Chain A
Amino acid sequence: MKLELRGITKTFGALVANDHIDLTVEAGEIHALLGENGAGKSTLMNVLYGLYQADAGEIVLDGVVQKFAGPGDAMNAGIGMVHQHFMLIPVFTVAENVMLGHEETNVLGRLNLGAARKKVKEISDRFGFHIDPDALIEDLPVGVQQRVEIIKALSREARVLVFDEPTAVLTPQETDELMAIMRQLKEAGTSIVFITHKLREVREVADRITVIRRGKVVGEASPTATNTELASLMVGRAVELTVHKDEPKLGHEALVVRDLCVIDARHQLVVNHVSFEVQAGEVLVIAGVQGNGQTELIEALMGLQPRVTGTIELNGTSLRGLSVRKILDAGVGFVPEDRTEDGLVAAFTVAENLMLDRSTGAPFVKAGTLQRGFLADFAREKVTEFDIRTQGIDSLAGQLSGGNQQKVVLARELSRELHLLVATQPTRGLDVGSIEFVHKRIIATRDAGIPVIVVSTELDEVVGLADRIAVMYRGGIVGIVPGTTPRSVLGLMMTGEPAPGTEAVA
């Protein structure tokens, strides 16, 4: 099926998310839509899928202009979508999820689950998925959940399939498998729109590439273009894709973690007997696919997990079981995973956010009173030092862009006297410029002799920052390897295979 988008425009208030976007996807073509976070890719696809109504422009399928009032209409027209955040109901089975919205029933109104199971089996056999139609979604690994999403779309006879950032949650191996599935679908005549910001994947699988920036189509490229060409097209200027850093000057063993376990509410060992140490002046990157215990491990370090066993020692003092306050006072700086939820108070000003974890005493608070004057001076200094683009220190943090919000968090944490810096997903969702800045600050911190832990799911970032890499898989550490380890080995480790020639640590 041939898909054409003509002059699609969508605005949210003053923000123009899509500005007269034209896009043509031929039948049986994999068309990559490349752009930075916030470039308007997802908005465009939500318009295509009927979730948003375009302010102007039209959607044309095989020469026929379509009017979508909702996702139901788009689906009936043959458009399917594999969402970035899976649209699956965790407490339903695979078959129930696949049938939802177009259920078959018998005369008594009883759901015909048998037919749905058969359909799941039939489609999953066609692609070699091996999916149990009666498994609950919440029990399935994310890679399998994604396949359920694909089955869901195909069960509606989708002829145009949109993949929205499908590789964000996958291991490199799963990503390769997904590429194979996409090619298989293409062979069967399905048109595919592949949304991503990862250059490597685009070049591997796409037939054509359209790059959008700030809501506009800025160019087309062929898959033979180099990474640097694509990146500069995407960002709009020449970019530095690698992180410059010197050899680490290693100091003493600062953080020692032994036999750490975290038990969640369902009594699972989400962190399973993990041991590692970080030396002063090095960056240890904890790599792995999202959801393999990294979040819980860091929360355990920060005193945010209720059930933790094992030992955590920073410069000889135990941190386990201490309150978050005491841990921060011990000199641990923390850049949380979700800056808008955990890193900032959106309704507070930039200045207030800069002192958020220092409200217990001098110099910010004296005799129970905020030292406004001192805070203002401090905030102005940090805004300059960290190049925070804001109208003033009294602007609300919620009004800043993602990159500037992250700079506020970094400025706050780095302005304390630190003995350890923990940064989780420090560049998620940031523009390329901010990513460069954050990486530079992290390396500068390390060069100042402070041990740094970075959690990242992006291989580029892992390889760029790390002096050593600890790969986590299903709660355990598969192995701790040097920062120069090849990507292919890291990819394998993310699936639980220990690196060749090393002993499994966990």
Chain B
Amino acid sequence: MSTITQTVQPSQGQPALSTVVLRSWKAAIALSIFAVLGLLIFVLLGVDTQGQVSTFRLSQSRDLIQLPDLVLPTFVTAVVSSILLFAMAAWSIWITTHSRKVPLWLVVVFAVVFMIGFLTWAAAGSTIPVPGLFVGTITLSVPLIFGALGGVISERSGVVNVAIEGQLLAGAFSSAVVASITGNPYLGLVAAAIAGVLVSFVLAAFSIKYLVDQVIVGVVLNVLVIGLTSFFFSQLLSPNAAALNTPERFPRINIPLLSEIPILGPALFRQTFIVYFMYVAVAVIYFGLFHTKWGLRLRSVGEHPKAADTVGINVNGTRFWNVSLAGAIVGFGGAYFTLGSVGAFNKEMTAGLGFIALAAVIFGRWDPLKATLAALLFGFASNLQNVLSIIGSPVPSEFMLMLPYVVTIFAVAGLVGRSRPPAADGKPYIK
């Protein structure tokens, strides 16, 4: 798929070697396939939508600023977006033949146009609530983002965290029970963090002290937590649902002014405490990881533990406590299931989201901000499936259920290119 085209001669004394430009056809081929796919779906499948319109509702009824609905003629929009897609695919091919890299913004614009074309086609004759689409995206992303943040911290310190799923589930369970008994969601949140830390302790002890393969410990922990919580759910919570499984939920807090921003305001600023807490967590972790002593040491033990050891950093101690911290953060995400969205614990209610969070860590290249964006993308894909099934789209529901996972596979496997994990990720440190 790659061919060599040109060489750049090095100037003497420069540390970098001369490089060649390899034509990578990956992006161009991907765009072309999606352009053809767009043509097939929007235009050919959409021939019978001629004369229909697709409506995008841009405001909710309680918004201060009311934007009018956006009404697009379905077939015309499909044709226009299809033409745009082909133009962009052709351009990417032209760029590639001229041995340049297809810029990221082109891929992003392509994705947005594809999405508009897709939504217009899917919403033929009906209405898509755009603010609702974004609100749902945030709702579904919160546990993913907490999970991804925990994953980033743990893996940056050199311990692969496959146990995110188990930490989420443990957090959801204990927060439901504690919040039900005490009637205080904040105590539930603390309990969730503690549960996450306890799962982390096991992961850390086995992988750091006893040098057991980290992936295996993680998988086993997930199964263990599923078993434990399911057992207690059916033996304790179900019979005593009123006392143990009706947690007080976090109240919705509208932030003045910000929550009135059209389209995005409701999604971002009419949320519960736990979501605002998440914004702070993302910012603090990003700052901490790259601008503080904590972050420098954390990254050093994940990259080159021996080097950290030789400057007097306790490698295994640093790893242990940061894996524990990661568990606490993932635990918060678990609490969101019971205290933020659903309102009660249920068997296996995390439904594999921990693994999607793990994918977000990799897609986000072990960077808290990028991992957050990746988690949002996955959340959007899940929510799109919800919205489309509600408005009765022509896409089979089984196919729509696959969507988040298809997006995950594409994102992680192909489109990101090679991402480099922390050098000592997954490797125990033995003196």
**A and B, one complex?**
yes
Q: CB within 8 Å of B: which residues of A?
A: 49, 51, 70-73, 75, 81, 83, 86-92, 96-97, 99-103, 105, 109-111, 139-141, 144, 152, 261, 263, 265-270, 272, 307, 309, 474-475, 496
Q: Is B126 an interface residue (CB 8 A)?
A: no
Instruction: Report if A272-B310 is in contact (Cβ < 8 Å); known contacts: A90-B304, A100-B296.
Output: no
Q: Once bound together, how far apart are the Cα atoms of A496 and B314, in whole Å?
A: 42
Residues of A within 8 A of B296 (CB): 92, 96, 99-100, 103, 111
Complex contact B300–A110 (CB within 8 A): no
Complex contact B303–A90 (CB within 8 A): yes
Interface string of B254-294 (1 = CB under 8 A from A): 00000000000000000000000000000000011001111
Q: Is B62 an interface residue (CB 8 A)?
A: no
Q: A70-B314, A87-B311, A109-B288 are in contact. List 4 more A-B contacts (CB 8 A).
A: A51-B309, A89-B307, A102-B311, A309-B4
Complex contact B304–A89 (CB within 8 A): yes
Residues of B within 8 A of A268 (CB): 16-20
9 contacts between A and B (CB under 8 A): A71-B309, A73-B312, A81-B310, A89-B300, A101-B311, A263-B22, A268-B17, A307-B4, A309-B4
Q: Once bound together, how far apart are the Cα atoms of A99 and B300, in whole Å?
A: 12
Residues of B within 8 A of A474 (CB): 10, 17
Interface residues of B in 5-48 (CB under 8 A from A): 7, 10, 12, 15-22
Complex contact B17–A263 (CB within 8 A): no
Interchain nearest-CB distance for A45 vs B (Å):
12
> Which of A72, A92, A97, A261 has a CB less than 8 Å from the CB of B312?
A72
Complex contact A92–B309 (CB within 8 A): no
Complex contact A110–B292 (CB within 8 A): yes
Q: CB within 8 Å of A: which residues of B?
A: 2, 4, 7, 10, 12, 15-22, 287-288, 291-294, 296-297, 299-300, 303-304, 306-314, 418, 423, 431
Residues of B within 8 A of A267 (CB): 19-22
Q: Nearest A residue to B18 by beta-carbon distance?
A: A269
> Which of A75, A139, A144, A266 has a CB less than 8 Å from the CB of B311?
A75
User: Which of B12, B15, B314, B423 is the most central at the interface, judged by chain A CB atoms within 10 Å of its CB?
Assistant: B15
Instruction: Report if A141-B15 is in contact (Cβ < 8 Å); known contacts: A83-B310, A101-B313, A267-B22.
Output: yes
Instruction: Report if A269-B7 is in contact (Cβ < 8 Å); known contacts: A90-B303, A100-B296, A141-B15.
Output: yes
Interchain nearest-CB distance for A266 vs B (Å):
7
User: Which of A73, A139, A140, A267 is the most central at the interface, judged by chain B CB atoms within 10 Å of its CB?
Assistant: A267
Complex contact B312–A70 (CB within 8 A): yes
Q: Once bound together, how far apart are the Cα atoms of A270 and B418, in whole Å?
A: 19
Complex contact A92–B303 (CB within 8 A): yes
Complex contact B292–A111 (CB within 8 A): yes
Instruction: Report if A263-B20 is in contact (Cβ < 8 Å); known contacts: A70-B312, A75-B312, A103-B296.
Output: yes
Q: Once bound together, how far apart are the Cα atoms of A75 and B313, in whole Å?
A: 12
Q: Nearest A residue to B8 by beta-carbon distance?
A: A269
Complex contact A88–B307 (CB within 8 A): yes
Residues of B within 8 A of A71 (CB): 309-312
Residues of A within 8 A of B306 (CB): 87
8 smallest beta-carbon distances between A and B, as pairs: A72-B312, A101-B311, A87-B307, A268-B17, A103-B293, A87-B310, A89-B304, A109-B292
Complex contact A49–B310 (CB within 8 A): yes
Complex contact A91–B303 (CB within 8 A): yes
Q: Once bound together, how far apart are the Cα atoms of A242 and B306, in whole Å?
A: 38
Q: Once bound together, how far apart are the Cα atoms of A97 and B310, in whole Å?
A: 12
User: Which of B7, B17, B22, B287 is the most central at the interface, judged by chain A CB atoms within 10 Å of its CB?
Assistant: B17
> Which of B299, B312, B431 has a CB less than 8 Å from the CB of A101?
B312
Q: Once bound together, how far apart are the Cα atoms of A101 and B288, in whole Å?
A: 16
Q: Once bound together, how far apart are the Cα atoms of A493 and B296, in whole Å?
A: 40
Q: Once bound together, how far apart are the Cα atoms of A139 and B304, in whole Å?
A: 16
Q: Once bound together, how far apart are the Cα atoms of A101 and B314, in whole Å?
A: 10
Give the interface SS of chain B, mostly helix, strand, loop or mixed.
mixed
Interchain nearest-CB distance for B317 vs A (Å):
11
Residues of A within 8 A of B418 (CB): 265
Q: Nearest A residue to B306 by beta-carbon distance?
A: A87
Residues of A within 8 A of B300 (CB): 89, 92, 100
Q: Once bound together, how far apart are the Cα atoms of A60 and B418, in whole Å?
A: 51
Complex contact A105–B18 (CB within 8 A): no
> Which of A73, A81, A265, A269 has a CB less than 8 Å from the CB of B20?
A269
> Which of A91, A109, A139 has a CB less than 8 Å from the CB of B293?
A109
Complex contact A266–B18 (CB within 8 A): no
Q: Once bound together, how far apart are the Cα atoms of A207 and B423, in whole Å?
A: 40
> Which of A81, A100, A111, A269 has a CB less than 8 Å from the CB of B291?
A111
Q: Nearest B residue to A139 by beta-carbon distance?
A: B15
Q: Once bound together, how far apart are the Cα atoms of A242 and B258, in whole Å?
A: 82
Q: Nearest B residue to A140 by beta-carbon distance?
A: B15
Q: Nearest B residue to A99 by beta-carbon distance?
A: B296
Q: Nearest A residue to B418 by beta-carbon distance?
A: A265
Residues of B within 8 A of A141 (CB): 15
Complex contact B303–A111 (CB within 8 A): no
Q: Once bound together, how far apart are the Cα atoms of A330 and B227, in whole Å?
A: 58
Q: Nearest B residue to A309 by beta-carbon distance?
A: B4
Complex contact A475–B293 (CB within 8 A): no
Interchain nearest-CB distance for B21 vs A (Å):
7
Residues of A within 8 A of B313 (CB): 72, 100-101
Interchain nearest-CB distance for A105 vs B (Å):
5
Q: Nearest B residue to A135 by beta-carbon distance?
A: B15
Complex contact A100–B311 (CB within 8 A): yes
Instruction: Report if A139-B309 is in contact (Cβ < 8 Å); known contacts: A88-B304, A103-B296, A109-B293.
Output: no
Complex contact A51–B18 (CB within 8 A): no
Interchain nearest-CB distance for B135 vs A (Å):
34
Interchain nearest-CB distance for A111 vs B (Å):
6
Residues of B within 8 A of A111 (CB): 291-293, 296
Q: Nearest A residue to B9 by beta-carbon distance?
A: A272
Q: Once bound together, how far apart are the Cα atoms of A56 and B263, in whole Å?
A: 73
Residues of B within 8 A of A75 (CB): 311-312
Q: Once bound together, how far apart are the Cα atoms of A91 and B297, in whole Å?
A: 13
Residues of A within 8 A of B15 (CB): 139-141, 144
Complex contact B16–A139 (CB within 8 A): yes
Residues of A within 8 A of B307 (CB): 86-89, 97, 100
Interchain nearest-CB distance for B292 vs A (Å):
5
Interchain nearest-CB distance for A36 vs B (Å):
24
Q: Once bound together, how far apart are the Cα atoms of A265 and B299, in whole Å?
A: 24
Q: Once bound together, how far apart are the Cα atoms of A96 and B291, in whole Å?
A: 11
Instruction: Report if A263-B311 is in contact (Cβ < 8 Å); known contacts: A89-B304, A269-B17.
Output: no
Interchain nearest-CB distance for A298 vs B (Å):
17
Residues of A within 8 A of B314 (CB): 70
> Which of A88, A89, A266 has a CB less than 8 Å from the CB of B19?
A266
Interchain nearest-CB distance for B8 vs A (Å):
9
Q: Nearest B residue to A263 by beta-carbon distance?
A: B20
Residues of A within 8 A of B431 (CB): 51
Complex contact A90–B423 (CB within 8 A): yes
Residues of B within 8 A of A109 (CB): 288, 292-294
Complex contact B293–A105 (CB within 8 A): yes
Interchain nearest-CB distance for A109 vs B (Å):
5
Q: Nearest A residue to B422 by beta-carbon distance?
A: A91
Residues of B within 8 A of A89 (CB): 299-300, 303-304, 307-308
Interchain nearest-CB distance for B394 vs A (Å):
44
Q: Once bound together, how far apart are the Cα atoms of A269 and B287, in whole Å?
A: 37
Q: Once bound together, how far apart are the Cα atoms of A110 and B7, in whole Å?
A: 42
Residues of A within 8 A of B20 (CB): 261, 263, 267-269
Q: Once bound together, how far apart are the Cα atoms of A307 and B307, in whole Å?
A: 33
Interchain nearest-CB distance for A146 vs B (Å):
14
User: Which of B4, B18, B303 is the most central at the interface, judged by chain A CB atoms within 10 Å of its CB?
Assistant: B18
User: Which of A70, A88, A309 is the most central at the interface, judged by chain B CB atoms within 10 Å of its CB?
Assistant: A70
Residues of B within 8 A of A72 (CB): 311-313
Q: Once bound together, how far apart are the Cα atoms of A66 and B228, in whole Å?
A: 51
Interchain nearest-CB distance for A367 vs B (Å):
38
Q: Nearest A residue to B290 by beta-carbon distance?
A: A111
Q: Once bound together, how far apart are the Cα atoms of A75 and B304, in whole Å?
A: 19
Q: Once bound together, how far apart are the Cα atoms of A406 and B294, in whole Å?
A: 45
Q: Once bound together, how far apart are the Cα atoms of A26 and B309, in whole Å?
A: 28
Residues of A within 8 A of B299 (CB): 89, 91-92
